[in-house]
Chains A and B, each alone.
Chain A
């Protein structure tokens, strides 16, 4: 009988030799820190934005459409003039733009699961939450872009924040913190639901009431009592109030603290649930 084949038995082909050398590893690095692994995953999220820039389309176009639509469609009716309504609306629409962007968190995560990318990460000896926390950090880039687009358009249209640059930046920072905390809702949906599109659909159903049944567009005083009840406990309302105050240069400690506490509580409850689902995924 002949040997199985020249390429397979002798293993002295150039390919086999390079392969051998490549596989042999003389120096084994030590395990990276939790922070380093997390940043690696955040970097991955940025690379994905670079390679699939289409995903920024929604992030940039929908804030523009929402702002223009609400200012010019309802401005006159709601506040008497578009100019005046813009001062009221812009901090709210900024919040809405960014929160709508958070649905991509769950969508991307579910895509990773369906494609098997997550199983590869889960098979690595790394700090377990790193892929998720890293992805959420990477997502803040998207939130920042959505914020910048909305604010720029607002300034062009005549939005004049009396809180100045500092007030605006603090409002954006607070918004990013809250968006990070809210993202954990979507990581859970991403882990539980079966397909990326299901995640998208359910996420929208979560976000619609959160943003519309709030003080983003109108003063809750004008709403029926039962709705006011919800609007006043809706964390988004508190976030919008805090943003308005910060941009208006008159932030109260209580409204900012409310948002921070809500963010911490959401993360404290939802992050462990996410990690549990992530660990026990089948």
Chain B
């Protein structure tokens, strides 16, 4: 069995305000093998940031335990801090300072000499394609550059465990790919990365294992193919040319796939979930429609989206509403 880099059992954090209790994290178990990318996937307000902040020793759990490389995050917080790097919306570099100044400062805080810190900073700026921007205040950086300097800052000491809280949220596709490539290089070199994301696509592209969390609880855990097969292979959607023949087309699709067909709001579209191992059935749909003489100008097969995963796992669509909040009597 591989060693675990991060393990959590029954982690709980509730926030109490005057009127209500928010169960931000409500009993989470995690087991992250060393040298892997672990994705924590969940909608806004699911409790991802709260969970990461507990693992990174920034927040004390109300209940449960967590260990990073065997160090307890409460009892042995300092050892955890020495081993991890953290980047996220809520762990940022100083925007007033330049990129170089930020990295030099952090290197100094890890104990580098003044000259050593400058060298380390230059090396990291170069590796992250920020050499030209090193002398500029971070507030002048683009979103992608900002995220890269944040990443560089968390890598000053080459941590063996890296927590990335929504590292690509708000980035354009190119910057997002850069971040993905960085993560892959790090893990290739033996680091363990725990990243949170709202995008199934991202978890799918990067993570070896994924925990889907909703309202502070893990509702599913597994590899990306495992999760997807629990949802089906995706969705087939098509448009018929003649609205009058949609009902007929729906019947054919339903017969081929064996899953219920949903009619779109317009008069020509319809879609259906593709069942597990239903790829062959999909192949039969188009010929069946052609045989019936129904013209299909548009047809597509989509990967299941996070919404579909959620729908399948929870029986309800993703709502952006906050985690379960209860009125206090």
Contact = CB atoms under 8 A, between A and B. Distances in A.
Do A and B pair up? The answer is yes
Interface of A: 4, 7-8, 11, 15-16, 18-25, 28-32, 36-37, 40, 43-44, 47-48, 51-52, 112, 115-117, 119-120, 122-126, 130, 280-282
Which of B111, B155, B182, B188: most chain A CB closer than 10 A? B111
Contacts of B185: 11, 16, 19-20, 23
Contact of A280 (B60, B96, B184, B191): B60
B89 A123 contact: no
Which of B59, B105, B108, B113: most chain A CB closer than 10 A? B108
A36 B109 CA distance: 8
B127 A44 contact: no
A120 B101 contact: no
Nearest to B86: A123
A30 B109 CA distance: 10
A174 to B, nearest CB: 31
A238 B105 CA distance: 39
Contacts of B137: 51
A48 B91 contact: no
A37 B58 CA distance: 19
Contacts of B191: 23
Contacts of A120: 86, 91-93, 106, 153-154
A116 B184 contact: no
Contact of B92 (A18, A19, A40, A116): A116
Nearest to B184: A8
Nearest to A40: B108
Interface string B95-126: 11110010001101111110010000001101
A125 B81 CA distance: 5
A28 B112 CA distance: 8
B72 to A, nearest CB: 15
17 contacts: A15-B129, A16-B181, A20-B188, A21-B127, A22-B126, A23-B155, A29-B110, A29-B111, A32-B109, A48-B96, A51-B98, A51-B137, A115-B95, A123-B58, A124-B110, A125-B81, A282-B59
Contacts of A20: 185, 188-189
Contacts, number: 128
Which of A16, A31, A115, A120: most chain B CB closer than 10 A? A120
A115 B181 CA distance: 26
B86 A32 contact: no
B124 A22 contact: yes
B316 interface: no
B172 to A, nearest CB: 16
Given A25-B157, A37-B108, A48-B96, 5 more contacts: A20-B189, A28-B158, A120-B92, A120-B154, A123-B58
B180 interface: yes
B78 interface: yes
B53 A30 contact: no
Contacts of B124: 22
Contact of A123 (B57, B96, B158): B57
Interface in B127-179: 127-129, 137, 153-155, 157-158, 177
A145 B186 CA distance: 46
Contacts of B216: none
A32 B111 contact: yes
B101 A23 contact: no
Contacts of B127: 15, 18-19, 21-23
Given A32-B111, A48-B97, A120-B91, A125 B78 contact: yes
Interface in B23-64: 53, 56-60
A77 to B, nearest CB: 44
Contacts of B157: 25, 28
B129 A119 contact: no
Nearest to A112: B94
Interface in B269-319: none
A180 B112 CA distance: 29
A24 B56 CA distance: 22
B84 interface: yes
Contact of A44 (B15, B88, B94, B180): B94
B82 A44 contact: no
A20 B182 CA distance: 9
B97 A11 contact: no
A8 B111 contact: no
Contacts of A37: 108-109
Nearest to B139: A51
B126 A11 contact: no
A40 B91 contact: no
A51 B94 CA distance: 11
Contacts of B329: none
A125 B109 CA distance: 8
Nearest to B126: A18
A84 B253 CA distance: 98
Nearest to A22: B127
Contacts of A130: 109
Closest 10 CB pairs of A and B: A22-B127, A29-B111, A116-B92, A125-B81, A25-B158, A116-B90, A125-B82, A119-B91, A32-B111, A123-B86
Which of B53, B94, B153: most chain A CB closer than 10 A? B94
Nearest to A131: B109
B189 A24 contact: yes
B126 A47 contact: no
Contacts of B84: 123
